Structure 1
Amino acid sequence: MQEASSVDETDRLAALAFYQVLDTPPEFAFDAITELAAEICGCPVAIISLMDERRQWFKSKYGLPTDFTECPREITVCNSTICSNDMIYVPDLTAHERFRNLGVVTDEPRLRFYCGMPLISREGYALGTLCVVAFEPLELRPSQREAVRRLAQQAMALLELRRQLLERDALLNELARAKASAEEARDQSERLLRNILPEPVAEELQRFGRVEPRFHEATTILFADFRKFTLLTETLDPARLLDQLDQNFGRFDEIAAENRLETIKTIGDAYLCVGGLPAPNRTHPIDACLAGLQMQAYIRSANRQREKLRLTPWELRIGINTGPAIAGIVGHRRFTYDIWGNAVNVAQRLEEACEPGRINIAASTLHHVSRMFEAQARGSVGVKHIGAIDMYFVNRIRPEFSADAEGCVPNAEFWRASGTG
């Protein structure tokens, strides 16, 4: 049998590289083929291997130790198989002039039987083999040899599928890079717009160049700020203060989004978000109370760490009110989405009348959430420029509706009972 020329071997190795398969983890589809080949032929060992310039590497193996993944190609029968266009079938390797002196025959593991089929690529290069081997001489029926041939075709089909997926991914990546380059400026502006505006508002602004103010009959406003923030500004350097404030507000943004609230703005140490707009929904009073509980829980957790470091705790106050509001865009060069109305002013006054670490809500909100949350009546409290407001502290989710001991996480029954599950 003639060895492949150096030019052919260079081309064969280049073809093998297209598949990017060498040293990849085991895969069930290949392992199924080797197990089936061994069972059909009654052999203790079956291997799917690929040949690079120096080694026979096992993509899949049946009947060999887990850590046995390769061997030098010059000592293997498969080194001859890849130079063939067809199956090599040797019932007794010791009786074959070409193979009887190979190391795997004369020394451990002392192979006696071999049947191997080259894995030939669509360009005609033999990349590796599917083989079955035994440690005693063995005769295979024609149907068994045909099974080895067909299983080798299946193994090659898996390799071709891998190559097609790689080629597809490469093409998709190239198209994506071209598209990204062409649309980079537009995408950047759109991302920026969506970072500062709710998505429906951003879309309206992009389509029409303006956003009409809208009256929303039912919203719930959550207003929060940190008590004695001025004292913190006097005890912390500006960089650390801003970093901690950014960390707190960043987590508030996540909590708001998780509870379908829209972050409106931050003003110094104050944080404003709202539910029920720009897209109306029925759950906004519940969403706001859940968000308030989770914000307070986050600050309590952060304060436990601060206490260990003897740092001043953050004291968060939250006011929540339900009512109508007007929402729209202000500004022409620097767009800001904002809300106005008496309901917003009341939410701010509720926050100012709140105790640190608590959530203060108005009767307008309690009406929607009393079934789901434990609330503590505070009576009628007078506030500046508005008058007396009936106020309530929201303490927690009721135990029967809570998934945690602290009463901040709703369970499945909570959503069923609230009519939103």
Structure 2
Amino acid sequence: MLIFILFIFLDSQIGVGQQEKKEFKKNDKTSDSADSLYKIAVSNYKNGDLKKALLNFEKSHKLYNQLLAFRKIGECNENMGLLNFDLGDFDKAEYYFVNALAAYKKENYKKGESGILNNFGALSYSVGKYSQAIEYYLKALKVQEEIKNEILSATIISNIGGIYSKLKDFNNAIIYYNRASVIYKKLNDKKGVAKILLENGYIFMKQKKSSEALSNFKQALAIAEKEDDRLLEIEILSNLGEYYFTESNYEKALFYYNRCLKFAEEQNSLQYKSSARISIGTVLIKQNKYKEAEEKCKLGYKYALQLKAIAIQEEACKCLYQSYKFMGETQLALEYHEKISSLNDSLKIEETSNKMMTMEFQKQQLVDSLSFVKKQHLAELKHKEEVQRKEKQRNYIIATLCLMMLVAGGLWSSLNFVRKSRAALKIEKDRSEELLLNILPEEIAEELKEKGSVNTQEHNLVSILFTDFKSFTQTAANMTPQSLVEEINVCFKAFDLIVEKYQIEKIKTIGDAYMAAGGLPHPFEHSFRNVLLAGLEMQDFITIRVAENKQNNIPAFEMRLGIHAGPIVAGIVGVKKFQYDVWGDTVNTASRMESNCEVGRVNISETLYDIVKDYPEFDFEYRGEIAAKGKGEVKMYFVNLKTQT
């Protein structure tokens, strides 16, 4: 999948105007030196000499700092961020982007601000944070409304299309790509056109439209070669390798993957040095060359760890798992299978609990160590006092000096230890808090950290949503354990994105059931509307997923979904592996709405119907009074979105 990054300063005019030099308010010699170094850095970047480019950007950055030329400071920082992105150092890239944004804001340079927000989006995309990436892209587009820069708008629109494509929402992806393509063609931006061809080729490949996919890839490659854009060429070669792999043409797949790896090595692109090796390893497994596959994927996994790219790590682990399985290395195969599971669910509650326990353990270590040092010092002081009383006057000065040196050394060691321990504690505390906020609402997490417990809360009116897969046991019996877990994970990941989109609180998953609540921990306007929209979107996702799986002859789950509204009690129970949960008859009734639903529909109670019946975007089907276990006869309604006319 493509990742678009804006190279918006590589072709900009470099500090040659008289007015700009006046703004620097410094001597012309420093200004000329800074501009000259910047031009050399741009040339290095275009020619693929990334290390020299980075060095010259750093030198020009220092001179621009002396001149207080904030726009140029921002441009240097942005280009250094882009260089580090190409080199696979995402942490450094983020550092430079933050500095660039600060400089642009001082200059009120809106074009630069928009470019940086787009780059933050690409950075989030690279590590799998898709919802965060979309937030950055939308912020960047908002700035574009002020400055109306078409080429930047096209790039950002393309990036949003890339997110939809990654999530397999190809219809929306194509809409955004077509919008961007119109702008690129209007501006005669050939590289932009090539990128859209590449993205459309990827979608055609996933839709199994082979001839259309290959045609788009080859058109994109011809443009990239003509424009001498090696980084774009690397991305196209990687996609061509994947295309021939899906066509089971392993020789051609290896040809394109090896070309991709060769150019990635030349450009020192850590991302493709990793992914290309893993792809080659995957092809070698198909050719029964398991040892060679293991060697390729091991190095690819090493680079993926440096990148901190979860998706690439997962592909490497899959490759190593298959290699070891076929070589009969059962223990190693099991080890990498477990890593796959861990990467699929890296934010488990157990991990949060373990991090907090580790933090508390280190804290206690620090306290114990300080106490031991203090006791040592007291013992030494008493010993020296005893020696002083027994020694003659001529030894008094020597004994005092020795004591002072010992105390000074002990205090220095203690201070150094405390400083290092506090730094380690802060790192673990920050990690634990980040994980905690992924499993609890923010204000609940703050209360838990402050008091060590959470007071239960009564809510008068909250909507509860339940989903459950029909005939789960029978369908699961036709699947391997790994494919079963993967299928549930795909569905629940999609549900997580949907509830986040509609500001709904995920409560928990129980086996194949998914539970969420609207209006927690605080009610907000249209929370009931949002719950209905979320439920309908979940059913749309499952419907599409079932169709895709059936087309590929893979077992699929059909789903029932029910929603009810009413009073509940919310809180946390237990002291280990804690979980935010809700209780009350409302929860039981919501469960009955689900169990009495039909596959593919959204079933709601009369209570919820009375609240949402006036919303214009919904149609409701009265089902009559239906017997619900433990509830008697209950009035129920199916809900649908009105057809747009």
Distance 2:562 2:60 in 1: 70
| Structure 2 residue 632 is matched with structure 1 residue 387 | yes
User: What is aligned with 1:315?
Assistant: 558
Alpha carbons of 1:371 and 1:50: their partners in 2 closer, same or farther (altered >3 Å)?
closer
Distance 2:610 2:42 in 1: 66
Q: Which has the larger radius of gyration?
A: 1
User: What is aligned with 1:295?
Assistant: 538
Amino acid at match of 2:15: F
Structure 1 residue corresponding to 2:501, chosen from 254, 258, 263: 258
Displacement of 1:192 in angstroms is 2.1
Alpha carbons of 1:25 and 1:324: their partners in 2 closer, same or farther (altered >3 Å)?
same
| Structure 2 residue 27 is matched with structure 1 residue 27 | no
Helix, strand or coil at the partner of 1:392: strand
Distance 1:247 1:29 in 2: 49
Displacement of 1:378 in angstroms is 0.3
Q: Check conservation: 1:378, 1:390, Cα contact below 8 A.
A: yes
Task: Give the TM-score, by structure 1 length.
Answer: 0.57
Distance 2:525 2:35 in 1: 62
User: What is aligned with 2:73?
Assistant: 162
- Which deviates more, 24-33 or 338-347? 24-33
Structure 2 residue corresponding to 1:209, chosen from 432, 435, 452: 452
Deviation string, structure 1 residues 171-217 (Cα, Å, up to 9, x no partner)? x969x9x9986621101211222122111111111111111111100
Q: Check conservation: 1:255, 1:294, Cα contact below 8 A.
A: yes
Q: Check conservation: 1:48, 1:59, Cα contact below 8 A.
A: no
Helix, strand or coil at the partner of 1:212: coil
User: What is aligned with 1:228?
Assistant: 471
**Counterpart mapping for 1:318-333 below 5 A:** 318-333=561-576
Alpha carbons of 1:237 and 1:122: their partners in 2 closer, same or farther (altered >3 Å)?
closer
Distance 2:75 2:425 in 1: 27
Helix, strand or coil at the partner of 2:568: strand
Deviation string, structure 1 residues 201-257 (Cα, Å, up to 9, x no partner)? 111111111111111001000000100110122011111111110111111011111
Alpha carbons of 1:344 and 1:161: their partners in 2 closer, same or farther (altered >3 Å)?
same
Structure 2 residue corresponding to 1:244, chosen from 487, 491, 509: 487
Q: Check conservation: 1:204, 1:211, Cα contact below 8 A.
A: yes
Alpha carbons of 1:157 and 1:244: their partners in 2 closer, same or farther (altered >3 Å)?
same
Q: Check conservation: 1:326, 1:340, Cα contact below 8 A.
A: yes
Displacement of 1:284 in angstroms is 2.2
Alpha carbons of 1:29 and 1:158: their partners in 2 closer, same or farther (altered >3 Å)?
farther
Distance 2:60 2:602 in 1: 69
Q: Check conservation: 1:225, 1:269, Cα contact below 8 A.
A: yes
List alignment gaps of at least 5 residues for structure 1.
1-23, 38-46, 61-66, 69-119, 128-152, 406-421
Deviation string, structure 1 residues 279-312 (Cα, Å, up to 9, x no partner)? 1224222111000010011111112211211223
Structure 2 residue corresponding to 1:275, chosen from 514, 518, 524: 518
Helix, strand or coil at the partner of 1:296: helix
In terms of fraction of residues, the more helix-rich structure is 2
Q: May I ask how many residue pairs the two structures share in their alignment?
A: 276
Q: Check conservation: 1:325, 1:340, Cα contact below 8 A.
A: yes
Alpha carbons of 1:385 and 1:181: their partners in 2 closer, same or farther (altered >3 Å)?
same
Distance 1:299 1:180 in 2: 46
Amino acid at match of 1:233: A
Amino acid at match of 1:30: G
User: What is aligned with 1:200?
Assistant: 443
Distance 2:520 2:74 in 1: 49
Displacement of 1:367 in angstroms is 1.2
List alignment gaps of at least 5 residues for structure 2.
1-8, 23-31, 48-58, 82-91, 100-419
Distance 2:515 2:576 in 1: 22
Q: Check conservation: 1:223, 1:320, Cα contact below 8 A.
A: yes
Q: Which structure carries more relative contact order (alpha carbon 8 Å, separation 6+)?
A: 1
Amino acid at match of 2:591: Q
Alpha carbons of 1:363 and 1:33: their partners in 2 closer, same or farther (altered >3 Å)?
farther
Percent identity, aligned pairs only, is 34
Q: Check conservation: 1:380, 1:389, Cα contact below 8 A.
A: yes
Structure 2 residue corresponding to 1:191, chosen from 410, 434, 437: 434
Q: Check conservation: 1:49, 1:58, Cα contact below 8 A.
A: no
Deviation string, structure 1 residues 362-413 (Cα, Å, up to 9, x no partner)? 01111122222101110000111111110001122x34xx5xx8xxxxxxxx
Q: Check conservation: 1:198, 1:278, Cα contact below 8 A.
A: yes
Alpha carbons of 1:395 and 1:165: their partners in 2 closer, same or farther (altered >3 Å)?
same
